[in-house]
Structure 1
Amino acid sequence: AQTLSYLKIQTSLLQRQLKQSPCDYQQSLEISEEIQSVLSAAYVQLRELLSTFRLTIKSALLVESLQVLVEELASQYPQQIELTTDIANDMVEANKQIHIIQIVREAIINALKHADCDKISIRCVGDAEQITIEVADNGLQGSKLKHLDEHYGLQIMQERAERLNGKICFEQSPSGGVLVKLSVPRKTQ
């Protein structure tokens, strides 16, 4: 939505520029190139969103779905992404698993795009009461963590965690990057 609003403003600016100074080719070309660049970026974001919306769970296979997610992203980005887990597929209800996968996906994508890292680790552990999933990168952004109200993606992750009756926190990882820690109650038997 922000990108489309920006493009609308830039298009209005270009139209005004062409009406006022049709001979100022260079400035019109610069505005046009900026619009093209932002459109290309928006197209990439839209493709990622569509991939996310296509993500469904056919059965309660949380661990396998996380493995598929990691493989998919590892094939698209140069950073090393590794998953370690000791949880079982049946530790969380199937209807909650999609939220967990989306939170993990958002955390990985944020690290891939913003962390200036070369390694991302996903660790899943469970006990009798809850499962905990940590996504940590070795980038340099841990000391620059923003408040939730300043980052729309983090707000969405927070809302998803609340729907799961869980908690999510954003901390500096031991390697200096960002650590996203999600704790969710385990399914009751």
Structure 2
Amino acid sequence: LTPTKINDKILSQVLNHIRVSEHLRYIELEIFGSEHWEISFGQKDPKQSLQVEELSIENENLAVLSWQAGLPCPDPRMMKNLGQMVAKALYSHKTQRQQEQLLLMEERSIIARELHDSLAQVLSFLQIQLTLLKHNLKKEDEESKEKSIAIIGEFEQALSDGYSQLRELLATFRLTVQEANLQVALEQVIESLRSQTKMQMTVECSLPSQSLNPQELVHVLQIVREATLNAIKHSKGTLIEVKAHINAEGEYEILVQDNGVGIPTLDEPEGHYGLNIMTERSRQLNAQLTISKGEQGGTIVKITLPHTFF
């Protein structure tokens, strides 16, 4: 009962074993909230009274254990202990189910918030561009037509960026749902990007595997993914290194660095929001984000997590 996830088959095996070993005529377990399990063995004698043991923990009624004794009569201490063990197993099972439900709700909340935060800016931009396009289409001069064509181009680019963000988010969600281990999650993020470049990419992680909760892990992985994609697209380098370690000040630090030409400016082109989103994610983590040129060239994106994380 203790190490195994409880279900009706396990409880049935336990009760039937007790019925046989204690020579019971009948035994029944009614579980509140799971009455459909219908766990009972033996033949109930209507002329014989049932002995009843109410199973509860911390004033929470969990089940009722009932039985009819045979010959020889069962040891009362055995039935008392059985009731206590079944109560503990049911309580543990119920607590585990509640915890799983809370985690599921939290995960759904994270997904909903991420989808909104990442795509809201793109959709807002598209709405503005659509309004401008409608305004220009009402005019018939050549300049308005050129502006309309330019707006359509920006529209297409924003749609493409939106789809890319959505695919990246879904990939990240799959990682965090399947694996909360930081080392493995970082490796899988990088592995998912290898097909987009010929650059060598490495991952080193010396932080504890469970350093971050699911929401924090989503933010960190998305920052790492965005920084890596920027390096792939713009660095013109040959190497990208992802490192997660404890720095000289004893802080958790995550680095994405390349050996390319180095970032020329932190100002983003119109319609691009990657750096702004990375900054916002760092703010959600209460972490410090710095983006700079390396001493040997290239770009370094550094996330420094506060001591409150550990």
The TM-score bracket by the shorter chain reads 0.7 to 0.9
Which residue does the alignment assign to 2:294? 173
Q: 1:42 to 1:172 in 2, by over 3 A?
A: same
Which residue does the alignment assign to 1:50? 166
- Residue 31 of structure 1 deviates from its aligned partner by 5.3
Would you say the 8 A contact 2:136–2:148 is kept in 1?
no
Give the unaligned 5+ runs of structure 2.
1-123
| Length-normalised TM-score, structure 2 | 0.49
- Residue 60 of structure 1 deviates from its aligned partner by 1.9
Report the Cα distance in structure 1 between the residues aligned to 2:227 and 2:300, rounded to whole angstroms. 9
Q: 1:145 to 1:49 in 2, by over 3 A?
A: same
Q: 1:45 to 1:138 in 2, by over 3 A?
A: same
Which stretch shifts more, 1-10 or 173-182? Answer: 1-10
- Residue 50 of structure 1 deviates from its aligned partner by 0.8
- Count of aligned pairs: 179
Which residue does the alignment assign to 1:16? 139
1 or 2 for the larger relative contact order (CA 8 Å, sep ≥6)?
1
Tell me, yes or no, if structure 1 residue 163 matches structure 2 residue 281.
no
Report the Cα distance in structure 2 between the residues aligned to 1:27 and 1:160, rounded to whole angstroms. 39
Higher Cα Rg: structure 1 or 2? 2
Which residue does the alignment assign to 1:96? 216
Q: CA RMSD for the aligned pairs?
A: 3.2
User: 1:61-110 CA deviation, whole Å, 9 max, x = no partner?
Assistant: 22212111111112133443322222331223333111111111121222
- Residue 12 of structure 1 deviates from its aligned partner by 3.0
Report the Cα distance in structure 1 between the residues aligned to 2:262 and 2:164, rounded to whole angstroms. 23
Which residue does the alignment assign to 2:180? 60
Which residue type is aligned with residue 166 of structure 1? A
Would you say the 8 A contact 1:129–1:185 is kept in 2?
no
- Residue 135 of structure 1 deviates from its aligned partner by 0.8
Tell me, yes or no, if structure 1 residue 183 matches structure 2 residue 299.
no
Report the Cα distance in structure 1 between the residues aligned to 2:295 and 2:201, rounded to whole angstroms. 17
- Secondary structure (helix, strand or coil) at the match of 1:89 reads coil
Q: Describe how 1:100-111 pairs up with structure 2 within 5 A.
A: 100-111=220-231
Which residue type is aligned with residue 50 of structure 1? L
Which stretch shifts more, 83-92 or 98-107? Answer: 83-92
Give the unaligned 5+ runs of structure 1.
none
Q: Percent identity?
A: 27
User: 1:24-75 CA deviation, whole Å, 9 max, x = no partner?
Assistant: 6x984x5565455334322321111212332221242222121111111121
Report the Cα distance in structure 1 between the residues aligned to 2:274 and 2:233, rounded to whole angstroms. 13
Q: 1:90 to 1:146 in 2, by over 3 A?
A: same
- Residue 131 of structure 1 deviates from its aligned partner by 2.0
- Residue 180 of structure 1 deviates from its aligned partner by 0.7
Q: Which of 183, 194, 197 is 1:74 aligned to?
A: 194
